[in-house]
Each structure stands twice: as C-alpha cells, then as structure tokens.
Amino acid sequence: DQVNKEPKNLPPSPPKLPVIGNLHQLGALPHKSLCQLALKYGPIMLLHLGRMPVLIVSSADAAKEVLKVNDLACCSRPKLAGPGRLTYNYLDIAFSPYSEYWRELRKICVLEVFSVKRVKSFRFVREEEVGSLMDSISQLASSSPTDPVNVTEKVFALSGSIIFRTAFGKTFRGSEFNRAKFNDLVHDVATVVGTFSYDECFPGFGWIIDRIRGHNGRVEGVFRKLDALYQQLIDDHLKPGRAKHEDDIIDVMLGIEKEQIEEHGHRAWLTKNHIKAVLLNMFLGGIETSALTVIWAMAELLRKPTLMKKAQDEVRGIVGKKGRVEETDLDQLQYHKMIIKETLRLHPPAPLLITREAISHFKLNNYDIDTGTLIQINVWGIARDSNYWRNPEEFCPERFIDNTTDFKGQNFELLPFGGGRRVCPGIYMGTVTSELFLANLLYCFDWCLPDGMTEADINMEEQDGQCVTLAKKTPLLLVPLPSLLT
Ligand code: HEM
C-alpha cells in the first residue's frame, strides 16, 4: 500500500532558511509581504514558520475553496499560547478549536447575544454614547476652536463605552479604564493574540527568545489586567438588586449557568472562566474593529474633499435639523453604506482573518494540505487584487453602485468578516456601530486639517508589529467646526 501511495503534491514554497524557515520573510506588515510573495509563488503557498507549516491563501477562488468547499476540514483554530492564556485555555468562541463545545457556545451566543433583536435592544446605549461624544467634541470646539481633537482616541473611547455598556452592563466613564491608556490595552490584547510565540515555532529553544523579548511577561500582564476587570464585572452582576435596562451578555451567561445547575442539580459545563473567555471576544472583537473602521473611513474622506462633501450632503439632507443621526436613519444613507464597505475593503480590521487549522487532510486545487497545517487567508491582498477590482488601490465608494458584492461571506473577493462556519457573528453589531459613529461625525461637524497640513500630508501608514488587527500608525488629529444643523 505504501509503495502505491502517490507522492504528495505540496503547494509551492519560497526558499527557506534552516531552522527559522520563512519567518524572516514576514516583515513588519505580514499581509503586505505575503502579497509580494504570492505574486511570485502563487495564490496557494506553503510557508514554514520554524516547525509550523502555514498555508497562505491569496485569491478569491482559493478562498472559496477553503471557506466553502473545504470549510469543515479548515474550521478549527490552532492551540497557540497567547490566545490560550487569555481564553482560559480556549473556552471562548474565537480561538476554541472546532468541537461540540464550540458549536454549542457559538449557537447560544448567536441566538442570545449577536441576534439582530438583541443588538437592536441596545440601540439606546449606542445613541446615548454617540450623543455624549458629539457633545464633548462640541464643547472642545467652542472652548478652543482652532485646537485639533484626537479623533482616534475619541472613537476608541466611544467604541469602548458601547461595548462596556452593552456587553458588560457598566459605564466606562469614570472607570479605571477610562483613565488608563485604553486604546493601548485594546491594542496590546490584539498584539498578544496575534503574535506567534517563538516557543511554538521552535520547540526546545524558542522559549529563550520569548523570555528575552518579554513575550510571556506581556501576555501575563495583559491577562491579569483583563481577568481583574472581568472578575469585578461578574461580582457586580451577582449583587442582589442590581439595576438594569436589558440583559447584557454577563446576565445571559449567568442565567445559563443557573439553569444548568437547576436542571442537573450540579454545574454542567459553564463556569465563570467560560464567561470570562467570552468577554475577551467582546473586548477584542467589538471595540477595535468598529473603531478602526471609522478612523480609516475618516482619513480616506479627508483626503478626498469631494467624497466628504457628497457624504455630508447625503446625511444632512436626510436627517435635516434633527440634531443627531439615529439608527433608524441609517437605512436611507446609501452612499454612507458604500463608504463603510469601501473602507472595509481597503482596511479590513483583521487582514489575515484569525488563524485556522486543518483538522483533516484535504485537496486544494490538487495540492495536498496536511492535517495540522495552519491557514491564513490574506483578505487584505484579495481585496486589492486587480483581477477582481478596477483601480484597486483607489478609495472609491462609487464602485459599489449597481454592484451587489457584499461582505457577509458569500463574495470571496470581499471578506472583511471572514466566511464559512467561523464567519464573524458580530457583523450586524459591527456595521451598525461603525455606521452610526461615522454618520454622526459627518453630520455634526465639518472637519479641517490642523494648520499648515494639506490632504497629501495625512499619514495613511499602517501600524506595524505583526498584530491580528490593522491600526492606523499615527492618530488622526482634526479640527471640528460644528455644523449649523446641530
Ligand atoms: C467592523 C467590525 C468587525 C469586523 C471587521 C470583524 C471581523 C472579524 C473576522 C475577520 C473574524 C474571523 C473570521 C474567520 O476566521 O473567518 C471575526 C470573528 C469573530 N468576531 Fe468579528 N468583526 C467585527 C465586529 C465584531 C463585533 C462587534 C463582535 C462582538 C462584539 C465580534 C465578535 C467576533 C467573534 C466572537 C468572532 C469569532 C468567531 C468564531 O471563531 O467562531 N466581531 N470577526
């Protein structure tokens, strides 16, 4: 039998160095370096990061093969050390390997936490928080009219307060996290879960490099900060007589825990650590993604004043003198929706999605993909591929006029939320939040560049650091002029 076995047909690989393999070719912005490598080695390549084989998928056709045809073989997650620590050993949704447990947990959360009905029930939170941000920007604009506002910081704080209130049932203002460098913590979490540890790439000696670069200490530091926060949130929820408007995710999960204990007479599977692990997903999935979308959209519009004007005319024309954009207005803002879509095309918050792992051997365009191979889908590269997109580098929301391409995982040339069984369950929450933020920023203010700066000076560089998310390197500083409508 062994004799008759066909030799394996592995995907092409760039030449690798002894021991480290292709690690040195990743660079500071892996999605970019991987695009360059794909031009030479093709849309299906096999890299080796130390001992780990990693399949890099860089075309819509190949992404379809992975996410649609072979999704079941590819929908697991590897047990990497950083996410392992932060998820209490993979008890969450995003980093848990494919299993009965993951299916059950995802099902509960999709029904109870991410459903359109639940997300809509928190509309008042989003509108209140957006309203108070607009008020605070107005105050800054009237007290020091020429001073720039750090829009990046404001948008992160807004996104944080919305997740705090909807997911954790607590206001963010006045908490320790408001004062601390909140966006740094959010970014640290994304970095810790996005960075491979050297120990897993190089068993035997990698831990020495990890120790020298302080990787383990960093993971532990982030873990302790988050764990203390979660514990405090859970304790608050267990206090009798707690005032609340709507059940938040902690209420929902504590309710399931109680039901299980009542039903079985003892705890079935849900513990406080499970709840904390899911809170990490809210923290990581919910805050940075929506904030980055708004920041990149603002930066792109600032560079193209005619598009900015078109967007402002639309929102101001539809909302009139109401003073604020409400969620019920959003469906009428068709151009606005195209701006968000175009921003997610050029600046997908997770440019390589979240690492997957093959749980069985499968064939991808005749190549053999072995069990245990890690899989990264370069959605950043795919969305800039001139085979699918005309003038792909240009920010042009108009490309979506009379074009039904959507980002929900069915059009493989546009996958900012991934696809298949692991598709982002927060699509509705993420888009409604980003749309509401951006629409209000555009409706309430005219935005000018700080003195002496021109459109060409806006820094569009991406933050390096091999992180799971794609942040703008420098903060967006803009001078707000209140619009006459507010
Ligand atoms: C603009 C907003 C957002 C973007 C672009 C985004 C993007 C993504 C991406 C690319 C993935 C990985 C998909 C894959 O591996 O194929 C993902 C997964 C996930 N996202 Fe989002 N996301 C957003 C908003 C949210 C929000 C608001 C939440 C929750 C509060 C959330 C929670 C999650 C969770 C729990 C997963 C893991 C799913 C799984 O592995 O089964 N996301 N998201």
Give binding residues for heme as ranges. Answer: 424
At residue 172, the pLDDT reads: 64
Ligand 1 pocket, residue 93 CB under 6 Å:
yes
SS3 395: coil
For ligand 1, say whether the CB of 106 is within 6 Å of any of its atoms. Answer: yes
Q: Which atom of ligand 1 is nearest to the CA of 429?
A: 27
Q: What is the pLDDT of residue 219?
A: 83
Q: What angle do CA 93, 99, 105 make, to 5 degrees?
A: 40
Which backbone phi and psi does 284 adopt, to 5 degrees?
-80, -45
By the 8 A CB rule, do 411 and 103 touch?
Answer: no
CA 67, CA 422: separation in Å to the nearest integer? Answer: 9
Sheet with 52-57, side-by-side order of all strands: 44-49, 52-57, 374-377, 356-357
User: Is the distance from the beta carbon of residue 422 to the nearest atom of ligand 1 less than 6 Å?
Assistant: yes
Q: ipTM value of the model?
A: 0.98
Q: Is 424 touching ligand 1 by the criterion CB < 6 Å?
A: yes
CA angle 30–35–37, rounded 5-degree value: 95
The model's pTM is 0.93
Mean pLDDT, the chain cut into blocks of 10 residues (486 residues total): 71 85 80 94 93 94 97 93 84 94 91 89 93 94 92 90 82 60 69 65 61 73 86 88 79 85 74 89 88 97 97 97 96 98 97 94 96 96 96 98 94 98 96 97 96 93 80 94 79
pLDDT number for residue 196: 62
377 in contact with ligand 1, CB cutoff 6 A: no
Out of 424, 431, 437, mutate this one to test ligand 1's pocket (max ligand atoms within 8 Å of CB): namely 424
CA of 285 to the centre of ligand 1 (A): 5
pLDDT of residue 52: 87
Is 469's C-beta closer than 6 angstroms to any atom of ligand 1? Answer: no
348 Cα nearest atom in ligand 1:
5
Question: In DSSP terms, which residues pair with 445 in a beta bridge?
Answer: 482
Q: What is the pLDDT of residue 181?
A: 58
Q: Is 425 touching ligand 1 by the criterion CB < 6 Å?
A: yes
What per-residue confidence (pLDDT) applies to 236? Answer: 87
Per-residue pLDDT at 35: 95
With CA atoms as reference, report the closest residue to 177 among 193, 163, 191.
Answer: 163
Q: How far is the CA of 419 from the centre of ligand 1 (A)?
A: 10
User: Which residue's CA is minimally distant from atom 37 of ligand 1?
Assistant: 94
Residue 1: its pLDDT value, please? 44
Q: Is the CB of 350 under 6 A from ligand 1?
A: yes
The rounded Å distance from CA 123 to ligand 1 centre is 20
Q: How far is the CA of 274 from the centre of ligand 1 (A)?
A: 18
Q: Whose CA is nearest to atom 19 of ligand 1?
A: 424
Report which of 346, 341, 417 is spatially closest to residue 67, judged by C-alpha positions. 417
Q: Which is the closest atom of ligand 1 to the Cα of 431? A: 1
State the closest ligand 1 atom to the C-alpha of 292, by its place in the atom list counted from 1. Answer: 1
Are 467 and 284 in contact by the 8 Å Cβ rule? The answer is no
- Angle, helix 249-264 to helix 215-238, in steps of 10 degrees: 70
Tokens of 218: 């960093």
285 lines ligand 1 (CB under 6 A): yes
Residues 433/436/441/443 CA torsion (nearest 10 deg): 170
* Ligand 1 within 6 A of CB of 289: yes
User: 282: Cβ below 6 Å to ligand 1?
Assistant: yes
